[in-house]
Structure 1
Amino acid sequence: MIVDAWMQHGTVRFLRHEMLDSLWRWTGQKPPEEEVPVETTVAAMDAGGVGLGLISAWYGPEGALVSNDEVARFVAAAPDRLAGIASVDLRKPMEAVRELRRCVGDLGFKGLRVVPWLWERPPTDRLYYPLYAECVELGIPFCTQVGHTGPLRPSEVGRPIPYIDQIALDFPELVIVGGHIGYPWTEEMVAVCRKHPNVHIDTSAYTVERYPPELVRYMRSERHKVMFGTNFPMVTAEHALRGLDGLGLGERQRAAFLEGNARKVFHL
């Protein structure tokens, strides 16, 4: 079974946000004008062979673009196919910690995602640190974006070095998933992943044909820590996985990429 480590079942207020205009332009799509039924997301998963999708909440400076409770409702509509990833208001650390505890303890969410470019604060900002400690205590991964920012926001906060490297040094027990492969700093991201045992990469927002050579070389290694992701609905699994056989992955490496690494990291 394929696990998709980064998906959204977006609300209209998220999907029509001006920051995503560039992504819709690149994909040649238009954002929906009405709320999308969960069945549409599940159908796209079926078309790409995805058995389980991790769908994320989105919180930014203007509030909840996709709230944790909305994600919980989406998961409840397809509990065998979807699992939740929490997000929080970074500016209110104690409220954020309590909300994360609620999401994991009451809603059964599998991780936390905070996207640094949305806050224009790098992952080493002090506001993240209570959340890192709580992720360790809860036994869940911290998921974030590395690499340049496709939406209309600054990219510098997505650098793997120094940011991901530093938080892995400060919190060696913290499991970190860097989504969007780190391009154009993919080699940095691979280096950080090799250096720190609890740092991982997901391939969301990229199709197989666009994987940089340094990522593919790492994926061919015996114990790589790369997992599959799409960034749906911007990219579908069917499109993202086209050409997978051409990567030259061994059977064990392929299984780890499509399912095994995500199952381990998110305790699925």
Structure 2
Amino acid sequence: MTRVIDMEIGMPASEANPNLERIARGRPGTPFPQPLERPEGYGFANYGKVFKARNRDEVPGHKGDDGGLDRLVEDMDRANIACGLLVGAENSATGKIHARYPGRFFTFVTFDPTDGMRAVREFERLVKEEGANGLRLSALYNGVPANDRRYYPLYAKAAELDVPVRIYTAMNYANDRPYDLGHPRYLDDVAVDFPELRIVAGLAGWPWVNEMVGLLRRHPNLYVDTAAHHPRYFAQPGSGWEQFLQFGNTLLQDKVMVGLSRYLFGTSFETLIEDYKNLPLKDKVIEKWLYGNAATFHRL
């Protein structure tokens, strides 16, 4: 059975802090003490217009009785998913998750870049004492692009600790902030200034796929994951993924990792894995996408 490492596994709703999503999806920038109500359908609410609305209870991992992390691990075992990057967990849950499920999850912690050295010290503590596996940044939520110098102390600490960074890299549909906060161009500065830092471009940079491909060729320690994109579209003509699939099967076959994002698609791990295996990729490349590249990236 094909081994898999999943670069985006959603935290079961029963074990997640619901306030995290509410806060993250609020206004970008500095909070105001007396905000007015926002226009209907504005900001993250626009996602419901752009994408077909899905009943959250239909999505595995988000049902009223979702079985928590215990059931998630059972589902992973059934699909032969060795481990995965768990998104949606609080920084404070890092140690507990590793203690309950040793070796099954990567936990990447996240910080406000305006917290300066306090964030750097807490990042180091979480890595050394709680087993955090890396750093996760998302300009989508805070409106601060990845090349902003306020992140640089955190990048320096990640390089010193020899842990990777996952950076949100894709267009967003929250229409209260710039659409290109996650443009791949911001990664170039980071990779130039921190050449030893292992970086994964989360969400693969769509629709700027050609630029993403160029940067992957340019920087040895830059990788990419396919999270939040259904595999059936990668081989669909006119989807914009043509160059990604071409180079991902050839010159960049060692740079691509899968993020199954099961919580988005309302289907099983097994179905998504089979969809990846049906892509027009060489057999050895499919194994790399599903497991080998992530094993190398995470130094398993």
> Could you say whether these structures have the same fold, taking a TM-score greater than 0.5 normalized by the shorter chain as the test?
yes
CA contact (8 A) 1:208 1:243 kept: yes
Moved over 6 A (4+): none
Contact 2:228–2:259 (8 Å) recurs in 1: yes
Distance 2:54 2:269 in 1: 17
Residue aligning to 1:216: 245
Residue of 64, 87, 108 corresponding to 1:56: 87
CA gap of 1:251–1:27, structure 2 versus 1, over 3 A, is farther
Alignment-derived partner of residue 160 in structure 1: 184
Question: Does residue 187 of the first structure (1) align with residue 210 of the second (2)?
Answer: yes
- Which structure 2 segments of 5+ residues have no match? 26-43, 235-240
Determine the C-alpha separation between the residues in 2 that align with 1:148 and 1:114. Answer: 15
In 2, Cα distance between equivalents of 1:146 and 1:199 = 12
Residue equivalent to 2:34: none
Q: Which residue of 1 aligns with 2:289?
A: 257
Give the AA of the match of 2:248.
Answer: M
1:231 corresponds, among 261, 283, 286, to 261
Consecutive unaligned residues in structure 1, runs of 5 or more: 58-65
Q: Show CA shifts across 1:197-245 (max 9, x none).
A: 1111000001211221211111111552000112342245334334223
CA shift, 1:153, in A, is 5.7
Q: How many equivalent residue pairs?
A: 259
Correspondent of 2:113 among 90, 99, 117: 90
CA–CA distance in 2 between the matches of 1:191 and 1:23? 32
* Pair 1:200-2:229 in alignment: no
Corresponding residue number in structure 1 for 2:136? 113
In structure 2, relative to structure 1, the CA distance for the partners of 1:175 and 1:107 (3 Å cut) is same
Equivalent position amino acid for 1:196 in 2: H
Is 1:45 the counterpart of 2:76 in the alignment? yes
Structure-2 change in CA distance of 1:107 and 1:84 (3 Å): same
Question: What is the Cα deviation at residue 103 of structure 1?
Answer: 1.7
1:49-81 CA distance string (max 9 Å, x none):
322112135xxxxxxxx4212243233322242
Shift of 1:39: 1.9
- In the alignment, is the contact (CA less than 8 A) between 2:216 and 2:252 conserved in 1? no
Deviations 1:110-159 (A, max 9, x none): 21101111110111111111111111111111101111125566331111
Q: Structure 1 pair 263/33, CA: closer, same or farther in 2 (3 Å)?
A: closer
Q: Cα gap change, 1:91/1:50 in structure 2, threshold over 3 Å: closer, same or farther?
A: same
Structure 2 residue 97 is the aligned partner of structure 1 residue 74: yes
The letter for the 2-side match of 1:160 is: P
- For 2:217 and 2:100, the matched residues in 1 are separated by 38
- CA-atom RMSD in angstroms: 2.6
Q: 1:130 to 1:13 in 2, by over 3 A?
A: same
Of the three residues 255, 272, 295, the one matched with 1:240 is: 272
Letter in 2 for 1:56: V
Whole-Å separation in 2 of the counterparts to 1:44 and 1:195: 37
Kindly indicate whether the alpha-carbon contact (under 8 Å) linking 2:94 and 2:132 is maintained by their aligned counterparts in 1.
Answer: no
Distance 1:40 1:241, change over 3 A: same
Find the residue that maps to 1:17 and give its secondary structure: helix
The residue aligned with 2:18 is 13
Q: Give the letter for the 1:231 counterpart.
A: S
The two structures have a TM-score, normalised by structure 2, of 0.77
Counterpart residue type for residue 292 of structure 2:
G
In terms of Rg, which structure is larger?
A: 2
Do 1:56 and 1:86's aligned partners in 2 also have CA atoms closer than 8 Å? no
